[in-house]
Structure 1
């Protein structure tokens, strides 16, 4: 019986991460939230400044929440998309993982797009990154030897939580223009 309760609890948790609230058009508060998100990365990861200068666009996700129990886990967050330093839309990130894992964490993620075609591919709305696209955890000096891979560069700033995992998974993104 206890195992059944755990399975239902996990299913409920994953369903909650996959369901997002609907947004009705432009919310003026989005511009301020987006600016705060970019400022957070600029302040906490100054080595990324060269990516802000070189990239055609970027998607920033200020708060991604991730959790896992036993063999399944996932994460979800909302973010903002910039094209040539202009806020053009919002995005969601959904992450699914399979493999041994336990815990929860929150982090911020930013994806830089090298050229217009890379950003346009993202803006089509069903962009996915698999396990082969590695996010680099931001640390001192990390961006000096990092470059774009297949037109993207992905960086993560851990915020809180503890999670142990040996998983395989991917991230899926949606896009909505303003």
Structure 2
């Protein structure tokens, strides 16, 4: 019982820390600059029609879990709107993490689908590309 309470408390603290940052505008810029420094991700910035930036996504679970993050959508290097990421999971899981993510839109159609609100990921595969905390992510 003590382990369960400790786990709940730990996840609560992690999520609170993940979502508490008063310098939100700087966080978006910092995230973009960190990703741009990566040789693996840099070509995506050059070839993308637009992208969505999530400076912090908090993810936690004990059997049932979820993830949440607030982001901004960019086109031509300028903010065009806001977005959020929400995910629920069921299955074997224990723990939590906070990470950054950028979703690139290859063309106007993909950007339009995302910004119209009809965008959904069916499956995703991720791979750590850089040890400095940047992650390259591919999904369908």
Normalized against structure 1, the TM-score is what? 0.58
- CA shift for structure 1 position 31: 5.0
- CA shift for structure 1 position 32: 3.9
Unpaired runs of at least 5, structure 2: 16-22
Q: C-alpha offsets along residues 88-146 of structure 1, whole Å, 9 cap, x if unaligned?
A: 11111111112100000011111100000100000012421122x32333247xxxxxx
1:49 aligns to 2:42 (yes or no): yes
SS at match of 2:32: helix
Match of 1:165 in 2: none
SS at match of 1:107: strand
SS at match of 2:56: strand
Q: C-alpha offsets along residues 57-109 of structure 1, whole Å, 9 cap, x if unaligned?
A: 00010100000102x11010111111122211111111111210000001111
Superposition CA RMSD, Å: 2.8
Aligned residues: 120
Runs of 4+ in 1 over 6 A off after TM superposition: none
Normalized against structure 2, the TM-score is what? 0.72
Unpaired runs of at least 5, structure 1: 17-28, 141-153, 157-178
Match of 1:67 in 2: 60
- CA shift for structure 1 position 155: 2.7
